[in-house]
């Protein structure tokens, strides 16, 4: 507002100076008429008539400042629209907008966590490394067939628990969390609990065949941190292995610690 006022005053001051200069010039103009009246030497009644025009000429310059005075208040009222036209302080600043959450650029690697036990229906199996994924898929299919027939829904993600490994293959438990016990289980299936306790969490994305690279990184991480793992590994399939393309799998790998 102060800067706006300065602009208005700067515009008014030259106009006032010009009007005052004009009034001064008009005030000085009657003097030649007054000096001319004494120069006449005729004794005729003309001198008595000459003061009358001089008297009538004096009010004319005096009336000229009144328009200048009346013009000056008009610009003085102009700052009021400027005050009403400035709603910017009432609008919220752009900084008040909610900041977006931070973007996570990578999956956690070696995150400490605690596994909670869950009721699961499980099937035990063995597999060799050449056909490992196909064997796991068959185990999941058998469990899903049983649950679908009895109308039992999953209570969590499918899991594979590796119980032993060697150069030729491994033994495992395929597990699916449930809230109710299935009936008439085959001999190779049972009800139990998933692993529990402290573990490290790793994430694998991609095909099952490329998990060698993930497990190599896990081994290096354990060596660097000088951590001792139990003789078991757990894979939690965040994507359904029966419906997801193999190269699009997302698997949590849990390594229980001693």
| pLDDT on residue 135 | 97
| pLDDT on residue 108 | 80
Give per-residue pLDDT as tens, 91-110: 555 555 556 655 555 788 99
Give per-residue pLDDT as tens, 230-245: 988 999 999 999 999 9
| Model confidence, pTM | 0.60
SS (H, E, C) 61-91: HHHCHHHHHHHCHHHHCCHHHHHHCCCHHHC
| pLDDT on residue 106 | 77
Please report where in the chains the tokens 């996570």 appear, as a residue.
104
Asked if residue 22 has pLDDT above 70, the reply is no
| pLDDT on residue 24 | 40
Asked if residue 70 has pLDDT above 60, the reply is no
Give per-residue pLDDT as tens, 191-213: 999 999 999 999 999 999 999 99
Kindly state the percentage of the chain with pLDDT values over 70.
Answer: 59
CATH class, domain 111-256, is: alpha beta
Is the sign of the CA dihedral 126, 128, 133, 135 positive or negative? negative
Classify residue 213 as exposed, middle or buried by CB count within 10 Å of its CB (0-12, 13-18, 19+). Answer: exposed
CB 212 within 8 A of CB 165: no
Half-sphere exposure of 165 (CA within 13 A, CB side): 10
Mean pLDDT of the chain: 74
Asked if residue 20 has pLDDT above 70, the reply is no
Asked if residue 65 has pLDDT above 90, the reply is no
Domain ranges of the chain: 2-36+43-82, 111-256
């Amino acid at each position: 507002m102060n800067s706006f006022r300065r602009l208005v005053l700067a515009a008014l001051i030259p106009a006032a100076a010009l009007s005052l200069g004009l009034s001064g010039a008009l005030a000085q103009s009657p003097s030649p008429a007054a000096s001319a009246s004494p120069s006449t030497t005729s004794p005729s009644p003309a001198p008595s008539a000459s003061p009358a025009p001089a008297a009538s000429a004096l009010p004319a310059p005096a009336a000229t400042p009144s328009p200048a005075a009346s013009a000056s208040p008009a610009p003085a009222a102009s700052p009021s629209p400027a005050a009403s036209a400035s709603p910017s302080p009432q609008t919220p600043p752009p900084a008040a907008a909610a900041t977006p959450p931070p973007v996570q650029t990578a999956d956690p690697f070696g995150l400490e966590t605690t596994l909670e036990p869950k009721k699961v229906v499980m099937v035990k199996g063995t597999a060799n490394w050449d056909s490992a994924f196909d064997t796991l898929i068959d185990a999941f299919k058998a469990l899903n067939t049983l649950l679908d027939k009895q109308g039992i829904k999953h209570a969590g993600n499918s899991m594979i628990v590796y119980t032993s490994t060697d150069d030729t293959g491994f033994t495992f438990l395929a597990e699916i969390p449930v809230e109710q016990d299935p009936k008439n289980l085959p001999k190779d299936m049972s009800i139990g609990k998933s692993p529990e306790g402290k573990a490290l969490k790793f994430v694998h994305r991609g095909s099952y065949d490329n998990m060698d690279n993930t497990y190599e990184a896990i081994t290096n991480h354990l060596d660097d941190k000088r951590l001792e793992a139990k003789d078991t590994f757990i894979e939690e399939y965040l994507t359904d292995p029966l419906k997801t393309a193999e190269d699009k799998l997302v698997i949590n790998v849990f390594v229980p610690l001693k």
